[in-house]
Structure 1
Amino acid sequence: MGFTQPEFPAVDPDEFVKMPLMQRMRINATDWAENGFGSPYMLHVIYIVKIVVLYSIIGITIANATSGLPAFWHVTEWWNEPIVYQKAIVWTVLLESLNLAGSWGPLAGKLKPMTGGILFWAKLNTIRMRPWKWVPGTNGDRRTWFDITLYFAFLASLVAALVAPGVPSDSLSAALPDNTSGLVSPVLLIAPIVLLILNGLRDKVIFLGARGEQYLPAMIFFAIFPFVNMIIALKLLIVVVWVGAGFSKFGKHFSNVVSPMVSNSPSMPFKAIKRKFYRDFPRDLRPSWVAHVMAHVGGTIPEIVVPLVLFFSTNIYVTIAGALFMVMFHTFIISTFPLAVPLEWNVLFAYASVFLFIGFPNSEGFAPWDMSPAWLGLVVIAALMFFPVLGNLRPDKVSFLPSMRQYAGNWASAVWSFAPGTEDKLNRVTKSAKNQIDQFIEAGMPKNLAELHLQRTIGWRTLHSQARGLFSLLLARVPDIDSRDVREAEFLCNSILGFNFGDGHMHNEEFVHAVQDEAQFAPGECIIAWVESEAFLSGVQHYKLIDAALGVIETGTWKVADAVEEQPWLPNGPIPLHVTWSRTKSVAAQDEFGVVA
């Protein structure tokens, strides 16, 4: 890769677009194994500057200046100040809610413009995705002036909590008599808490974009708990996030995440090392023993064991070692620049590892057993565990984010396919960005080169387990698939909703219906293969085949074991699909629409 120019697969773009779909996928998957997205290093520098300058320096400067603390370079004088941590959370929520943090920029599929979020969520008639139909006052799927007002009120409430000086706290003074900066006023936290919930009930995309599943509990703890209980509850929160994420990686999916993640890492420039993460590059691109070891010995097990050690340790040296390990853990994730680019989230968690466990160690009265009353800790644990437990047992009911399945590879996901010349109908949908292929072309790429570059995202998807089922479904049910334009749903969703963080629930059949209202695809023009996450220990994934004009036309399952054993390009043909339901017009539908329904 060059500093300013991307690296493309060694194939003629004009010839590439004429190839059968799975031949293209083999080229892209093989190229990804060595080069990742092929992004120029300049992009990584932009992201680094953003997290260093915008997120860290400006964020710390605002927190310190409004709390009577010294400048950011006096680290020893503010790193363990409670109000700094509180304002770091509020600052992070603000940036996430503007979409200036996670899922930002070209690595998230945003090129022109690089920001989604506010450009979509402050725009009338853009699509909103309510989480539950039964909630009164949430009908509809388009943004109104009420939604926009609610969104701006939420942003304003965050700014108010961020810039207001700290207020005295008796519980803080009892624990830290020398503290003079106080805490964020609990009164100022009520509005962001309530407004985040209200925004989320109207549009789950805003709630998840703000990372409400993690930061909402933190703000609630800030608002209602005395200081010692607050610190212990915050430890509980971060341990649940870590352990939940580690637990979700047991199974057959996660090793398929590690290989393409390492392949995309600019901190891993040696192609020979990247190839070691695959069984027999380029003939066999399933994860190798190296990927399995890194996934579970270097990732899953420590992500569970080290947080539990931190949580119960009373030995300061063990605590320091554990906290520093988690700092390195999050630093490694940052270095890989994963496509959802949750860099700020990882920086915050690295800081939290030090702030919570070294700044307020168990041995000094901040242990789990120091919560008062003792039963309150059990209530907090039960509340924090509710969605992760439900989400792993019933993934159809809970987004993978509240389920704490970050990076697990066990995601709801989809691949969209368009009949030739029909993808442009997506530009009829009210949004703040053109289709991604158009963004690449407007950035100066020739059309076929733009097509080659965009299809790298579905090549990336094939390296993950669920894609072998998704592409099997398209190959088996869409006879003209080789002539269609095929798109990765996460990136497509980004250009329509302004945000996606790998959550397939954002682009499910309700989203398809909302898109269809304006796009008006004819039957057969837009066919989507969609799959739910694997429920814990079920061994199967439930799929849907969706026609944008007709709705769901088939449901079924495939075995996860069949998916993970296949090559990304399916040389043996589609994996076995078990149909549980299909539309009755099978022959007529196939004749008229070119789709087996």
Structure 2
Amino acid sequence: MGFLKADSPKIDYPAWQRGNRSERLQPLVRHIAERGMGNPDVLYLVYIVKIGLFIVGGICFALSTKGIDGWTGITSWWSEPIVFQKVVLWSLLFEVLGLGCGFGPLTGKIKPPMGSVLYWLRPGTIRLPPWPNRIPLTAGDRRTVLEVVLYAGLLAATLYALLADGTGPVAALGTSVGVLPTWNIALIIGLLAVLGLRDKLIFLACRGEVYGALTVTFLLPGPDMIVGAKLVMVAIWIGAATSKLNKHFPYVVATMMGNSPLVRWKGLRKRLYRGFPEDIQPSLIPQLLAHGGTVIEMGIPVVLFFSHGGVVTTVAATVMVIFHLVILTSIPLGVPLEWNVFMIFGIGSLFVAHAGVGLGDVAHPWAIVALMAVIVVAIALGNLAPPKVSFLPGMRYYAGNWDISTWCLTESATAKIHAQRIGFGALQHKQLEGLVGPENAEIAMYRGLAFRAMYAHGRAVVTLLNRVLPAGRDGDYAIVEGEMIAAYALGWSFGDGHLHNESLVAALHKRCHFEPGELRIIMIDGQPIHRQRQQYRLVDAATGEFERGTFDIADLVVRQPWQDDVPMHV
């Protein structure tokens, strides 16, 4: 790859187009395995600058607090409890504005590189309530003035807290500055809760399972707040590790490491696979990294929580900082970069600076027990019944076991979506056609399919395309990741199939009135932790679901990414 020029595969388009789907995928899969996605370095520079702005913004909000002074005196105030509170709220605001996870060209968002605030301050855009049939006054899929006001209120309340001063000395925390006013914290939580019931998009986009849960701990007094925040972070780590107890994760590691901008040696990339170029299954290297990382993420946080200072705390904290730096520098799918920066800060602020604060200092244990019960139940349900819980509160991060969808659009379906001005700009494949021409755009979209196929569940997608597309009509359809549809139609996406399932299909059909066969979708649920199979659905936007079935994980992990013969149990 170059600084400005992408490292694209050299394809003889006429010959490539004559091949079947498997033959088209093979050279693209091998190119990704050897070279990664080939993004130009300038794109990574954009994200590095964004991380820098995120860090500078956090420092500026900390310095706006009375009693916290001086860029050169960071060592004297960085561990103040109110600084941790402001970093959490700054992270929440950064995410809910659309500047964090899912931002920019590395996630397929080109023009504009983000949605979020551009959509959610505009009445008439699509919203997705989580339980419209169960929670009164939440039904409907059209954003109203109420949601706009609630969202604007959340932004304003969070910004007010970021500029607020502390409430005064708290002896139990050893601070003379104090913490943020309780009423301000309660207002943010209340607005987020009401807004989340009207539109789950915004709750998920602000990373409610991380920053929302941590904000709840700010309602607790003194040491209870520190212990509660520590337990939330431990739950995040252990929940994420639990979700990686599957056969999918080595595929994630191989693909993620091979796509890292720091891995420049093609020889190392090839060694991530068993027998490049014929066998693109994860080699022993990603398998060891996957299992080793899971052990670290499962066990070290417990040591960190109970060590209470000294050498053990220092070693455990160092291990976890390195753990997050590895993820950060790999530029993972969805680019949750600022989240990893936050987790590194949280390690220092909570577990090192306040290492001595532990369970013995808690004055109101039942409040912490109630919060942790909610988090644990969400994690358990997310792993046992993935269709019921988003992979974010289910904390199934990076596990390679997400709910996904693949959308197959005819030219007429695309035209109808654009005619209704569902989102800003154009759908991904049409943006690419305008940038690089139809032939290169088709290759680029197939490269996206090849990237998906390198994950274990991607083998199922390649097979199911033969079942979802009408016979003899492959050439009539553009194959687009559901993530890209959600980004265009909703203004945000981050690996969560719950945002582009039947709810979004129904909202689009209500507006576009698709004809049978115009828009067809493959939907695959995540794998339940106790079953070695996944469920799929094939849906026509006009007529509904026309096939449902399952496939076994064992049949995925013995196939190459381009093979389209995974047995399906209809």
Q: How high is the TM-score relative to the length of structure 1?
A: 0.92
Aligned match of 2:248? 253
Comparing 424-433 with 303-312, greater Cα deviation is found at: 424-433
Q: State the 1:445 CA deviation.
A: 1.6
Output the CA distance in 2 between the equivalents of 1:474 and 1:369.
Answer: 57
SS in 2 for 1:487: strand
Aligned match of 2:135? 135
- Contact (CA 8 Å) 2:237, 2:297: kept in 1 or not? yes
Which letter maps to 1:182? Answer: G
- Contact (CA 8 Å) 1:427, 1:519: kept in 2 or not? no
Q: Which residue of the other structure, out of 575, 578, 588, is the alignment partner of 2:569?
A: 578
- Contact (CA 8 Å) 1:312, 1:367: kept in 2 or not? yes
Aligned match of 2:430? 438
Output the CA distance in 2 between the equivalents of 1:208 and 1:149.
Answer: 18
Q: State the 1:377 CA deviation.
A: 4.7
Alignment of 1:72-151 (within 5 A): 72-133=71-132, 134-151=134-151
Q: State the 1:439 CA deviation.
A: 2.4
1:292 aligns to 2:287 (yes or no): yes
Residues 420 and 27 of structure 1: is their aligned pair in 2 closer, same or farther, counting only changes over 3 Å?
A: farther
Q: State the 1:18 CA deviation.
A: 4.8
- Contact (CA 8 Å) 1:127, 1:141: kept in 2 or not? yes
Q: State the 1:250 CA deviation.
A: 0.6
Which letter maps to 2:505? Answer: V
- Contact (CA 8 Å) 2:260, 2:329: kept in 1 or not? yes
1:192 aligns to 2:192 (yes or no): no
CA offset digits 1:533-580 (Å, max 9, x no partner):
11112111111000011111111111111112211111xx4211111x
1:475 aligns to 2:470 (yes or no): no
Output the CA distance in 2 between the equivalents of 1:18 and 1:295.
Answer: 38
Q: State the 1:455 CA deviation.
A: 2.8
What's the % identity of the aligned pairs? 38
1:175 aligns to 2:167 (yes or no): no
Alignment of 1:15-54 (within 5 A): 15-52=15-52, 54=53
CA offset digits 1:390-421 (Å, max 9, x no partner):
11111111101111110011110011112355
Aligned match of 2:70? 71
SS in 2 for 1:279: strand
Which letter maps to 1:433? Answer: G
CA offset digits 1:216-261 (Å, max 9, x no partner):
11111102x1120110011100000001101110111111111110
Q: State the 1:73 CA deviation.
A: 4.5
- Contact (CA 8 Å) 2:217, 2:225: kept in 1 or not? yes
CA offset digits 1:270-312 (Å, max 9, x no partner):
1111111111111111111111001111x11101111111111
Q: State the 1:57 CA deviation.
A: 0.8
Output the CA distance in 1 between the equivalents of 2:90 and 2:484.
Answer: 26
Comparing 555-564 with 465-474, greater Cα deviation is found at: 465-474
Q: State the 1:494 CA deviation.
A: 1.1
Aligned match of 1:264? 259
Q: Which residue of the other structure, out of 310, 315, 332, is the alignment partner of 1:316?
A: 310
1:216 aligns to 2:209 (yes or no): no
Gaps of 5+ in 1: 580-597
Alignment of 1:376-391 (within 5 A): 377-391=368-382
Which letter maps to 1:285? Answer: I
Comparing 59-68 with 394-403, greater Cα deviation is found at: 59-68
Q: State the 1:31 CA deviation.
A: 1.4
Output the CA distance in 1 between the equivalents of 2:472 and 2:84.
Answer: 55
Comparing 541-550 with 119-128, greater Cα deviation is found at: 119-128
1:548 aligns to 2:546 (yes or no): no
Which letter maps to 2:391? Answer: F
Q: Which residue of the other structure, out of 412, 425, 450, is the alignment partner of 2:441?
A: 450
Which letter maps to 2:307? Answer: S
- Contact (CA 8 Å) 1:17, 1:451: kept in 2 or not? no
Output the CA distance in 2 between the equivalents of 1:474 and 1:106.
Answer: 26
- Contact (CA 8 Å) 1:276, 1:288: kept in 2 or not? yes
The CA RMSD measured in Å over matched residues stands at: 1.7
Residues 70 and 338 of structure 1: is their aligned pair in 2 closer, same or farther, counting only changes over 3 Å?
A: same
Gaps of 5+ in 2: none
Aligned match of 2:511? 518
Output the CA distance in 1 between the equivalents of 2:14 and 2:49.
Answer: 36
- Contact (CA 8 Å) 2:486, 2:500: kept in 1 or not? yes
Aligned match of 1:529? 522
1:57 aligns to 2:56 (yes or no): yes
Q: State the 1:498 CA deviation.
A: 1.1
Aligned match of 2:551? 558
Residues 517 and 27 of structure 1: is their aligned pair in 2 closer, same or farther, counting only changes over 3 Å?
A: farther
Which letter maps to 1:415? Answer: T
SS in 2 for 1:74: helix
Which letter maps to 2:204? Answer: L
Output the CA distance in 1 between the equivalents of 2:34 and 2:416.
Answer: 35
Runs of 4+ that moved beyond 6 A: none
Q: State the 1:58 CA deviation.
A: 2.1
Output the CA distance in 2 between the equivalents of 1:24 and 1:516.
Answer: 31
